[in-house]
Amino acid sequence: MPVTLIQLRTREKVDYGVSPGTSTLNRSYRTLLRRIINELHSSLSGAAGDGDFNFQYDPNEVAHANAGLAISSGSGAVGATLNGVATTATWATSDTVAAGLIAYAIASSTTAKVKGMFLANNLHASITLASVTAGQYVDICGTRFTATNGTPAQIHSGQNAFTFDMSGNDAADATALAAAINAAPDLSRYVFAIPVSNVVRLFARQATWSTTTSAWSWPARSRQPTNIITASAATFTLSGSTLVASAYVGIQSVVGGAVGNVHTIAASGTGVTVLNSETALARGTALDNGAIIGEG
């Protein structure tokens, strides 16, 4: 789906209900959009004083870069080195508890090069693909992803939205499914995916999910996904029917697009590994070759 990115710089303060560098958003998307539009009108009319705009258009799908950690028999200080900065927590009780502590340390960091750069948590589920055939599907939090034999159409075409190519081997199928999840309108605000061989590892973007059947606790919306995962066939093996606390940590760039792929990552501490042995966040797409169509 094409994207238009608008950057507005103005001296006027606007109450968006969020503190910079935090994930506490207390305004609905509709209210936020209205406030942004009002601010744009104010700046264009000169009422807000000096304003500076950049408009960037990209015809490609936008996805946020991500990476993941796995913890097994951890001990001591555990976590990740992000952009050269060690961000760790002290292992306690279990690998799952430690993973939650690491996620909190990353998301709440006040250290330069990490602060405000990443979302992280250990709410996780896995989907293992084995000989998936066309027409089979997996439902993730109310959104259905259907396998097709061949490259599916672009989402903006109105044809074959939320599909993924199953014509390759199992690992290729998992990569295609993860890409579809990461680019999915609406759902990608709440879930992101990392392919590891023939396994898709799902992570929740938000810090809390209230119950297995009700909505995310943040932010309040009129149309909210549910924490339920099902599949149409045994070719999809699910770790469970919901995302749950785990010994994995999902890390995602706050800023969407290929720019997020520049963030570096390395494991830190006993028992910690980076998924796919990646040295930088990956899977961020778009806004790297789209034209800047206006300034002013």
Q: Tens of pLDDT along 99-145?
A: 999 999 999 999 999 999 999 999 999 999 999 999 999 999 989 99
Which stretch of 65-79, 92-106, 218-232, 270-284 has the lowest confidence by average pLDDT? 218-232
Q: Quick one: DSSP state of residue 197?
A: T
Q: Contact 57/85 with Cβ under 8 angstroms? A: no
* Helices assigned H by DSSP within the chain: 29-45, 95-107, 170-183
| Cα distance between residue 103 and residue 53, in whole Å | 34
Indicate the residue type of 204: A
| β-sheet bridge partners, residue 200 | 127, 195
Does 197 or 219 have the greater pLDDT score? 197
Q: What is the percent of the chain with per-residue pLDDT over 70, rounded to a whole number? A: 71
Q: Which residue has the tokens 């396998």?
A: 147
- pLDDT of 232 higher than 90: yes
Lowest mean pLDDT among 36-45, 101-110, 167-176, 227-236: 36-45
31 or 169: which leads in pLDDT: 169
What are the structure tokens assigned to 170, written together?
């199992």
Contact 84/233 with Cβ under 8 angstroms? Answer: no
Residue among 267, 276, 258, 256 at smallest CA distance from 117: 256
Residue of 270, 292, 274 whose CA lies nearest to 68:
274
The end-to-end CA distance of the chain, in Å, is 26
- Which pLDDT band, with edges at 50, 70 and 90, does 290 fall under? low
Q: What confidence score (pLDDT) does residue 18 get?
A: 54
Q: Which residue has the higher pLDDT, 75 or 5?
A: 75
* Nearest partner of 200 among 182, 175, 226, 225, judged by Cα: 175
**Is the pLDDT assigned to residue 35 strictly greater than 80?**
no
Comparison of pLDDT for 222 and 87, the residue scoring more? 87
Q: Residue 293 pLDDT > 90, yes or no?
A: no
Computed over every residue of the chain, the mean pLDDT equals 82
Q: Which tens digits make up the pLDDT trace of 238-282?
A: 999 999 999 999 999 999 889 999 999 999 999 999 999 999 999
Calpha distance 42→281 (Å, rounded)? 38
